[in-house]
Amino acid sequence: MAARMKDIASDLGVSLMTVSKALRNHSDISEVTRKRVLKRARELGYQPDFVARSLAMRRTYMVGLVIPDLMHSFFAEVAKGAASRLEPQGYQIVISNSEENAETEARQIAALLARKVDGLIIASAQPTGRAEPFRRLRASKAKFVLVDRLPPGLNAHYVGCDDEVIGEMATEHLVKLGRRRIAHLRGPEIRTGVGRLQGYLRVLERRKIGAPAQCVVRAAASDSTGYEAMRQLLRVEPLPDAVFAYNDPVAAGAIRATLDAGLGVPDDIAIIGSGNVHYSDLLRVPLSTIDQNSHCIGETAAELLMKCIESKVPLKPEQVFITPRVVVRESTRRNRVSDD
């Protein structure tokens, strides 16, 4: 069927080894022989068999990527970023979707290891950020890099965004616009939600800006909860003049609620989200947001993982924080009619 080294060897009357070395440009093969081998290989359409090579070399050049949801553009972009570094180096990416389920995640990781991937990049779906599965993983000598979510107390390779910095950046941006009654539509009780809230509070404190308790309203992570939360916020007196929303869907819901109430964005209320999901500039009012630099997270994780794979000794766990950046669009444009 498909051509093998053995075929090339017998065609040319040389040994298998000569072919193997010639194909890999091993130095101790005469130029003449190498040329002959390469020529015959091309004629036969020879393609090396990675499975056999993997077995012999104990190296598959495959990297597993475990993410909670491919549909979420954040993870899709992490995947793209990782691929952009891995593929040029000859690695293939094997993607597993854990569906935000910790057990599925564990199964997927086991399956990938059984396939002998050289390493793993994992955006863990462990709900409360359980560290124990990853301690065991490290004990098993598997190479892996966590992205986005780092279970507290775990010393492992990690690349992600600092959520407090996200909260600070967004809030700071609103302050710089001249807004002083800044509200927050906060997210769920997980690391990202809490972190962003902390960042928000810290800036208000630093800037000596009051934050009445009713100015922090809980939303989940969807646009419908954003809509409801914003309606609640619109009943607060005095009305906030700016809102930092937990993420972009929440912000989108908030924009709709504001417009429905007959108010202007950003004239009456400026709104900023987080995540820079790719529809952000398709909304009726294009949405300012904090970009988590997910492509860069993927790239960095890939680099880090390759270092781990190539290294003979286990590397000391390294945590890399990628700096997010503000993306200014219409929803926080500085264009109030009367700017006090």
Partner DNA sequence: TTGAAAGCGCTACCAT
Partner DNA sequence: ATGGTAGCGCTTTCAA
The residues binding a copy of itself (CB under 8 A) are: 1, 47-52, 54-55, 60, 62, 70-71, 73, 76-77, 79-80, 83, 92-97, 110-116, 141, 223, 249, 252-253, 255-256, 259, 277-279, 281-285
Residue the block writes with tokens 């093969």: 29
The option from DNA, a copy of itself, none interacting with 80 (CB < 5 to 8 A, set by class) reads: a copy of itself
CB of 88 to DNA, least distance (A): 20
The option from DNA, a copy of itself, none interacting with 15 (CB < 5 to 8 A, set by class) reads: DNA
The option from a copy of itself, DNA, none interacting with 30 (CB < 5 to 8 A, set by class) reads: DNA
The option from a copy of itself, DNA, none interacting with 17 (CB < 5 to 8 A, set by class) reads: DNA
The option from a copy of itself, DNA, none interacting with 215 (CB < 5 to 8 A, set by class) reads: none
Cα torsion for 22, 27, 30, 32, to the nearest 10°?
A: 50
The nearer residue to a copy of itself, 150 or 265, going by C-beta atoms, is 265
Beta pairing partners, 145: 121
Q: Which residues bind DNA (CB under 7 A)?
A: 4-6, 14-18, 20-21, 23-24, 27-30, 32-33, 48-49, 52-53, 55-58
The nearer residue to DNA, 42 or 316, going by C-beta atoms, is 42
129-161 in b/e form (b: 16+ CB < 10 A) is bebebbeebbeeebbbbbbbbbbeebebbbbbb
The nearer residue to a copy of itself, 129 or 264, going by C-beta atoms, is 264
CB of 321 to a copy of itself, least distance (A): 24
CB of 142 to a copy of itself, least distance (A): 10
| Local structure of 263: helix, strand or coil | coil
The option from a copy of itself, DNA, none interacting with 92 (CB < 5 to 8 A, set by class) reads: a copy of itself
The nearer residue to a copy of itself, 216 or 220, going by C-beta atoms, is 220
Strands 289-291 and 325-327 turn out to be antiparallel
CB of 45 to DNA, least distance (A): 12
Which residues have a Cβ under 8 Å from the Cβ of 289 and sit 6 or more positions away?
Answer: 248, 251, 272, 273, 274, 275, 276, 277, 280, 326, 327, 329
Write out the DSSP string of 102-116. Answer: HHHHHHHHHHHHHTT
CA-nearest of 156, 147, 119 to 310 is 119
The nearer residue to DNA, 32 or 213, going by C-beta atoms, is 32
The option from DNA, a copy of itself, none interacting with 21 (CB < 5 to 8 A, set by class) reads: DNA
Strands 216-218 and 242-245 turn out to be unpaired
Consecutive H or E run containing 137: helix 132-139
CB of 309 to DNA, least distance (A): 15
d(CA 254, CA 316): 44
d(CA 281, CA 288): 8
The option from DNA, a copy of itself, none interacting with 259 (CB < 5 to 8 A, set by class) reads: a copy of itself
d(CA 148, CA 129): 11
Q: At how many degrees (to 10) do helices 223-233 and 248-260 cross? A: 50
Q: Which two tokens stand for residue 22?
A: 């010639």
CA-nearest of 291, 330, 309 to 64 is 309
Give me the count of residues in the chain. Answer: 340
The nearer residue to DNA, 52 or 110, going by C-beta atoms, is 52
The nearer residue to DNA, 12 or 234, going by C-beta atoms, is 12
The option from DNA, a copy of itself, none interacting with 27 (CB < 5 to 8 A, set by class) reads: DNA
The nearer residue to DNA, 45 or 152, going by C-beta atoms, is 45
CB of 104 to DNA, least distance (A): 24
User: What DSSP state is assigned to residue 191?
Assistant: H
The nearer residue to a copy of itself, 86 or 154, going by C-beta atoms, is 86
Structural contact between residues 309 and 90, judged by C-beta atoms closer than 8 angstroms: no
